[in-house]
């Protein structure tokens, strides 16, 4: 069973074709990594999947239903959670409230029913010490953690992560990998865009390579990384 399927999805900005006839399936429970050079269209692909952008052509199926024309809000309610590459915190709310708003609206629950979960997530993402501070006061790294934490708070079936491992120390990166593995182990399907390949390879079972908006390879990470096309694109980038 695939939880997510894209069929011939395309999207252009003016004359620039940023997503070019993309098709792939993600089986339920899989962890899929997405790599590709800067500007390849990775974040755009996320925006199409989550409904922040609408597709020009093609269809998107999520959890058995066609969601091509469904709003971002409804896709969240149906079980999609995402982080933004450039963090988008609710700056006037506290860190804890950022999670509360996601948990109450994303899951349709009352505040008192989600408070414990939210506090747990803040501990797992090491934000608990900042729980009562305004989100606008967080550092960039903490904002990235908040992106992950807030997406977790909606308790998604499919979690989409956009470059959350950049700039971490060795220890922080290990902790992050640990957290994402835990989420994955609990049955959540994960799609993770990441330039930090060793972190990605520690988690994902399958790798998709995007270049100029096209899928140029998808499959077993080791095989994909060994292919000539990928090596050419990544020449000069640490592997």
Ligand X SMILES: Nc1ncnc2c1ncn2[C@@H]1O[C@H](COP(=O)(O)OP(=O)(O)OP(=O)(O)O)[C@@H](O)[C@H]1O
Binding residues (CB under 8 A) for another protein: these are: 50, 52, 71-73, 76-77, 81-82, 84, 88-94, 96-98, 100-102, 104-108, 110-112, 115-116, 118-120, 122-123, 128, 131-132, 150-151, 153-154
Q: Is the dihedral of CA 236, 238, 191, 5 positive or negative?
A: positive
Kindly tell me which of 40 and 99 has the beta carbon lying closer to ligand X: 40
Nearest-approach distance from CB 103 to another protein, in angstroms? 8
The encoded tokens of residue 34 equal: 């997405």
C-alpha angle 40-41-43 in degrees, rounded to nearest 5: 125
217: contact with ligand X by CB under 6 A: no
Q: Which does 38 bind (CB under 5 to 8 A by kind): Mg ion, ligand X, another protein, none?
A: ligand X
Burial (CB count within 10 angstroms: exposed 0-12, middle 13-18, buried 19+), residue 21? middle
Q: State how far the Cα of 8 lies from the Cα of 79, in Å rounded to an integer.
A: 23
Binding mask 13-52 for ligand X (x = CB under 6 A): x----x-----------------x-xxxxxxx--------
Burial (CB count within 10 angstroms: exposed 0-12, middle 13-18, buried 19+), residue 7? middle
85: contact with ligand X by CB under 6 A: yes
Which residues, in sequence order, are bridge partners of residue 80?
A: 158
Nearest-approach distance from CB 58 to another protein, in angstroms? 21
Binding mask 34-73 for Mg ion (x = CB under 5 A): --------xx------------------------------
R_g over Cα of the chain: 17
Q: Which does 142 bind (CB under 5 to 8 A by kind): Mg ion, ligand X, another protein, none?
A: none
Residue with tokens 């252009």: 12
Kindly tell me which of 13 and 178 has the beta carbon lying closer to ligand X: 13
The encoded tokens of residue 181 equal: 């593995």
238: contact with ligand X by CB under 6 A: no
User: Strand pairing of 57-62 and 65-66?
Assistant: antiparallel
Single out the segment in contact with Mg ion by CB under 5 A; choices: 14-22, 48-56, 79-87, 196-204. 79-87
Are residues 226 and 216 in contact, defined by beta-carbon separation less than 8 angstroms? no
Q: Is the dihedral of CA 27, 82, 172, 221 positive or negative?
A: positive
Nearest-approach distance from CB 53 to ligand X, in angstroms? 7
Catalog residues that contact Mg ion under the rule CB under 5 A. 42-43, 85
Catalog residues that contact ligand X under the rule CB under 6 A. 13, 18, 36, 38-44, 85
């Amino acid at each position: 069973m695939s939880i997510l399927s894209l069929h011939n999805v395309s999207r252009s900005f003016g004359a620039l074709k940023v997503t070019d006839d993309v098709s792939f399936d993600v089986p339920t429970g899989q962890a899929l990594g997405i790599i590709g050079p800067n500007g390849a269209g990775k974040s755009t692909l996320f925006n199409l999947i989550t409904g922040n952008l609408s597709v020009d052509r093609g269809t998107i199926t999520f959890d058995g239903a066609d969601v091509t024309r469904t709003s971002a809000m409804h896709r969240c309610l149906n079980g999609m959670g995402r982080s933004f590459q450039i963090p988008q915190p609710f700056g006037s709310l506290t860190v804890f409230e950022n999670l509360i708003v996601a948990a109450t609206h994303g899951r349709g629950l009352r505040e008192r029913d989600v408070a414990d979960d939210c506090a747990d997530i803040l501990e797992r993402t090491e934000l608990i010490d900042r729980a009562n501070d305004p989100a606008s006061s967080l550092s960039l790294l903490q904002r990235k953690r908040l992106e992950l934490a807030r997406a977790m708070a909606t308790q998604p079936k499919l979690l989409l992560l956009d470059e959350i491992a950049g700039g971490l120390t060795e220890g922080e990166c290990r902790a992050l990998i640990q957290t994402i593995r835990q989420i994955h182990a609990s049955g959540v399907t994960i799609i993770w865009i990441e330039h930090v390949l060793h972190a990605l390879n520690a988690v994902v079972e399958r790798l998709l390579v995007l270049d100029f908006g096209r899928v140029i390879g998808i499959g077993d990470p080791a095989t994909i990384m060994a292919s000539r096309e990928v090596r050419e694109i990544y020449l000069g980038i640490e592997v």
